[in-house]
Amino acid sequence: FLRGGIATEDQSAILKDALARRKEDLPQTWAALSAGFGWDGEVAYSLDLVDRPASPERGQLLTALLQSGVRDTEVLSFYGLDLSYAYAHGLLLPDVSAQAARLAYADLSYSQMLETDFGGASLTGARLRNTFLKDVSFASVPGSEIRPPYSKDLAFYNTNMAGVDFHDAHLLRPDFSNIDGLAVQFDGATLVEPQFQDARISAGTFRGTVLLAPEFVGTDLRSVDFDGAIIDGADALDRIAAEAAEGSFQRARFEQSPITLEDALQVTSLYTMMGYAIDLDDFGTGHASISSMRRLPITRLKVDRSFVTHIDSDPEQQRMIAAIVTMAERLGLDTLAEGVEHAGEHAMLSQLGCRHVQGFGIA
- The set of residues, in sequence order, having a beta carbon less than 8 Å from that of 237 and lying 6+ positions away, is 231, 251, 254, 256
Q: What CA–CA distance (Å, rounded) separates 181 from 200?
A: 6
* pTM (two decimals): 0.72
* Partners of residue 49 on adjacent β-strands: 2
* Residue 305 reports pLDDT greater than 70: yes
Interval 67-76 mean pLDDT: 95
Ramachandran class of 38: left when φ > 0, alpha when ψ lies in -120 to 50, beta otherwise: left
Arithmetic mean of pLDDT, 248-275? 71
Question: For residue 43, is pLDDT > 80?
Answer: no
Question: Could you report the per-residue pLDDT of 169-226, keeping only the tens digit for each?
Answer: 999 899 999 999 999 999 999 998 999 999 999 999 999 998 988 999 999 999 999 9
| Sign of the alpha-carbon dihedral angle for 187, 189, 190, 191 | negative
Helices H / strands E in the chain, number of each: 9, 15
Q: What is the pLDDT of residue 1?
A: 65
Cα–Cα distance measured from residue 345 to residue 104, given in angstroms and rounded to the nearest whole number: 53
Beta-strand ranges (E) seen in 147-244 are 156-157, 170-172, 190-192, 210-212, 230-231
- Indicate the residue type of 151: S
CA 81 distance to own-chain centroid = 29
Phi, psi of 94 (to 5 degrees): -95, 120
pLDDT of residue 351: 92
3-state secondary structure 270-294: HHHHCCCCCEEEEECCCCCCHHHHH
Res 8 pLDDT > 90: no
